[in-house]
Structure 1
Amino acid sequence: MEKAAKVVRHILNIAIAFSLALMSILVFGNVVLRYAFNSGITWSEEMARFLFIWMVFLGAIVALKENEHLGVDMLVRKLSARWKKVVYVISNLLILYTLWLVLEGSWGMTQLNMDSSAPATGLPLSFIYGIGIVMSVGMGIIVLRNLYQAVFGNKSGDELIMTRESEDLPADRPDSQGGTT
Structure 2
Amino acid sequence: MILRRIESMFTGIGLAALIILVFSAATLRWLGIDMSWSTDMAQLVFAWVCFIGADLAMKQKRHMGVEILTDKLPVRMRNSVYLINSLLILVFLVFVVYYGTNLVVINYRRSFNTLPISYSFVTASAPVGSLLMIYTITTRIFEYLKNFMTGDYSNLETNSDDEGGETI
Q: TM-score, normalised by structure 1?
A: 0.78
* Percent of aligned pairs sharing the same letter: 28
Tell me, in whole angstroms, the C-alpha distance in 1 between the residues paired with 2:11 and 2:60: 15
Partner AA of 2:25 in structure 1? N
Distance 1:169 1:91, change over 3 A: same
Larger RCO: 1 or 2 (CA < 8 Å, sep 6+): 2
* Structure 1, unaligned runs of 5 or more: 1-5, 171-181
Which residue does the alignment assign to 2:165? none
Tell me, in whole angstroms, the C-alpha distance in 2 between the residues paired with 1:50 and 1:74: 37
Matches for 1:31-180 after TM superposition, within 5 Å: 31-36=26-31, 38-153=32-147, 154=150, 156-157=152-153, 159-160=155-156, 170=161
Match of 1:26 among 18, 21, 27: 21
- RMSD (Å), alpha carbons: 2.1
Match of 2:7 among 9, 12, 35: 12
More deviation in 152-161 or 62-71? 152-161
Tell me, in whole angstroms, the C-alpha distance in 2 between the residues paired with 1:155 and 1:116: 53
Tell me, in whole angstroms, the C-alpha distance in 2 between the residues paired with 1:42 and 1:72: 41
SS of alignment partner, residue 78 of structure 1:
coil
Contact 1:81 1:156 in 2 (8 A): no
Partner deviation per Cα, 1:15-38 (whole Å, 9 max, x = no partner):
1122122222222222332223x2
Deviation at 1:13, TM superposition (A): 1.3
Runs of 4+ in 1 over 6 A off after TM superposition: none
Partner deviation per Cα, 1:53-111 (whole Å, 9 max, x = no partner):
21111111110000100111333223323322222221111110011111112111111
Contact 1:107 1:130 in 2 (8 A): yes
SS of alignment partner, residue 124 of structure 2:
helix
Q: How many correspondences in the alignment?
A: 159
Tell me, in whole angstroms, the C-alpha distance in 1 between the residues paired with 2:13 and 2:76: 43
Tell me, in whole angstroms, the C-alpha distance in 1 between the residues paired with 2:24 and 2:84: 48
Q: TM-score, normalised by structure 2?
A: 0.83
